[in-house]
Amino acid sequence: MSVEQQGAFEDSYTQPYGSAYFISVDPIFEEQITEAVSLIARSRPENVRVSYISQFAAAAKAASPTPALDSEEQDDQVQEKKEIEEDSDETKQAKRKVIRDLLSSIKGLRLEGTDKEFEGFANLLLSLILSLFPSTDVDFPTLILILSDALLFSADRTANPTLSSRYASLAILFNSLPTTASPSLRLTVLLKLITYASTNDDFTVIAPALARLESWLLEWGFGPGTPGEEEGNAAVASVVNSLVNKSKFVEARELLIAHLSSPSAVEGKAATPSASAAKLASQLITLSLSLPTIYDFSALSTIPSVSTPSTPRLAQLLTIFQNGDVAAFEQFAKSNAAVLDEHKLVAEQLETKLKLLALAELCSKKVGETVSYEEIAEALKLKAGANDDGEEVETWVIDAIRASLISGRLSQSLASLHVTRAAPRSFTTEHWTQLASRLQGWRQSLDAILDSVAKGVNVGGGEGVGAVEVSQEGAKEESA
């Protein structure tokens, strides 16, 4: 039985492992093994079940120490405690062999049982491994992985034990692993859980793990610039592929940004991104360009590996989306059709996104002003037909408004767009200057209004000249 509770007491029956505590309710080795193999036997042919149980029960009995003779006053609990304390090195080796043989016997078996039986079995075997095998033992990782595979082997939503029971058992196994040792083992078990849950579309189960994945990688020594960087990059690639295969593109992109943005754990080591990081950068660029809801590419420029992806042409394409125009993209698409095909990027979709960005860029320079249909058509390289009447321009403007790139009012009679808000592709010095100018204008208007209010108060209750001035100032603001 396991208890995940900090601050639990420790004695012969309660032991901490990782962040979990295990309580041995019935610590007699022979009975523990018999209980475990009884569940395993259900997955074996009926004609060998009895002999299978007998074989391991006999081996467990032979591996147990001979109980010392005690006075009649000693109760069973003391006797059991003495049995635990009397394990010699020879006895421990015998018990370890029983555990090795037992775990070897469950390879390829689909365990059957109720959720309660299954979780009890998982916790029992886990506690035996943890109590008999130090984390430094050469067999420890192998036994843990055999058990984790058995917990996840061949299950579906309608089978018993249920998926939730399997998730819970593997989560306890993960939490029980030493926090200061075997980081690769912890990572492997975590990846098994994430992959298994994503295969079954249970993303709510792994959402907390995904949120903490990058911090764990840094904590376990798999961050950029560390000796374990390649293993960390491989882990992220595995998770990203699982997410992409289930169309969880946004989550995959967020994970890539978090990982590639992590500071180097060793100063200067990650100045030149590794080959594996470059591959992740290519995937990040591809996801960012292909997602229909992503229009902000300025943040990617702060990620070192994005400037040197495994496919250099992707960096060139990203630059076009950051500060290029439609003509530059058209030229790129003609010259690099194979690159687009390789990364499953559709030229028509990319061109649509870039035109929306170009429209937003144009409008960002004229907030509070009007932009003519002709200016928009020129920026987007539109070729209007004889009977178009500005319909194509209006369609692009509406699409940009829906994408939250701009806000404004169309005027068909004036063939123009009055811009009230626009999101630039990148916030440059020019945009800061424009913002400062607008703020200064608003400040002057507010000062004028306050001055008029003060005059109105001095005249007496807001009547007379001051009130007229306030009204006039308000009218000016409305017209502005």
Considering only CA atoms, which of 181, 180, 265 is closest in space to residue 215?
A: 265
Would you place residue 10 in the very low, low, confident or very high pLDDT band (cuts 50, 70, 90)? very low
Contacts of 16 (CB under 8 A, 6+ apart): 8, 10, 22
Q: Say yes or no to pLDDT of 266 above 70.
A: no
Looking at residue 18, its pLDDT comes to 56
Looking at residue 454, its pLDDT comes to 81
Contacts of 344 (CB under 8 A, 6+ apart): 286, 290
Q: Say yes or no to pLDDT of 467 above 90.
A: no
pLDDT tens track for 304-357: 899 999 999 999 999 999 988 999 999 999 999 999 999 999 999 999 999 999
**Cα angle, residue 368 at apex, residues 367 and 374 outer, rounded to 5°:** 70
As beta bridge partners, residue 410 has 417
Looking at residue 35, its pLDDT comes to 93
Q: How far apart are CA 360 and CA 326, in angstroms?
A: 13
Q: Say yes or no to pLDDT of 209 above 80.
A: yes
Higher pLDDT: 69 or 291? It is 291
> Strands 416-422 and 406-411, how do they pair?
antiparallel
Looking at residue 263, its pLDDT comes to 77
Q: Say yes or no to pLDDT of 156 above 50.
A: yes
Of the candidate ranges 68-82, 109-123, 336-350, the one whose mean pLDDT is the lowest: 68-82
Q: How far apart are CA 360 and CA 55, in angstroms?
A: 75
What is the length of the chain? 480
Q: Say yes or no to pLDDT of 208 above 60.
A: yes
26 token code pair: 């019935």
Higher pLDDT: 71 or 303? It is 303
pLDDT tens track for 420-451: 999 887 655 565 566 677 677 778 888 888 88
Looking at residue 427, its pLDDT comes to 56
Q: Side chain identity at 461, as an amino acid letter?
A: G
> What's the burial of 38, exposed, middle or buried (CB within 10 Å: 0-12/13-18/19+)?
middle
244 token code pair: 């992409």
Looking at residue 458, its pLDDT comes to 75
163 token code pair: 């998926």
Q: Say yes or no to pLDDT of 76 above 60.
A: no
First vs last Cα of the chain: how many Å apart? 74
pLDDT tens track for 247-256: 999 999 999 9
Distance, CA of 268 to chain centre: 26
Looking at residue 93, its pLDDT comes to 94
Considering only CA atoms, which of 325, 316, 347 is closest in space to residue 334?
A: 347
Mean pLDDT value of segment 136-140: 93
pLDDT tens track for 167-196: 999 999 999 998 777 899 999 999 999 999
Q: Say yes or no to pLDDT of 112 above 80.
A: yes
Q: Say yes or no to pLDDT of 466 above 50.
A: no
Mean residue pLDDT of the chain comes to 83
Would you place residue 5 in the very low, low, confident or very high pLDDT band (cuts 50, 70, 90)? very low
Q: How far apart are CA 219 and CA 179, in angstroms?
A: 10
Would you place residue 41 in the very low, low, confident or very high pLDDT band (cuts 50, 70, 90)? very high
Q: Say yes or no to pLDDT of 477 above 60.
A: no
Q: How far apart are CA 93 and CA 299, in angstroms?
A: 57
Q: How far apart are CA 220 and CA 182, in angstroms?
A: 9
Mean pLDDT value of segment 469-476: 48
Considering only CA atoms, which of 421, 416, 443, 442 is closest in space to residue 431?
A: 421
Ranges 127-136, 231-240, 381-390, most confident: 231-240
Q: How far apart are CA 308 and CA 301, in angstroms?
A: 11
Higher pLDDT: 450 or 458? It is 450
Q: How far apart are CA 5 and CA 124, in angstroms?
A: 18
Ranges 128-142, 261-275, 376-390, most confident: 128-142
Contact by Cβ (8 Å): 71, 29: no
Of the candidate ranges 14-18, 211-215, 301-305, 355-359, the one whose mean pLDDT is the lowest: 14-18
Q: Say yes or no to pLDDT of 363 above 50.
A: yes
Considering only CA atoms, which of 221, 340, 230 is closest in space to residue 286?
A: 340
Mean pLDDT value of segment 11-40: 72
Contact by Cβ (8 Å): 141, 182: yes
Mean pLDDT value of segment 469-479: 47
Of the candidate ranges 214-223, 356-365, 431-440, the one whose mean pLDDT is the lowest: 431-440
**What are the angstrom distances between the C-alpha of 358 and each of 120, 274, 302, 319, 396?**
61, 34, 22, 13, 11
Contacts of 87 (CB under 8 A, 6+ apart): 65, 95
Looking at residue 88, its pLDDT comes to 82
Looking at residue 2, its pLDDT comes to 45
CB environment 116-144: b (16+ within 10 A), e (fewer): ebbbbbbbbbbbbbbbbbebeeeebbebb
Higher pLDDT: 72 or 106? It is 106
Q: How far apart are CA 303 and CA 326, in angstroms?
A: 25
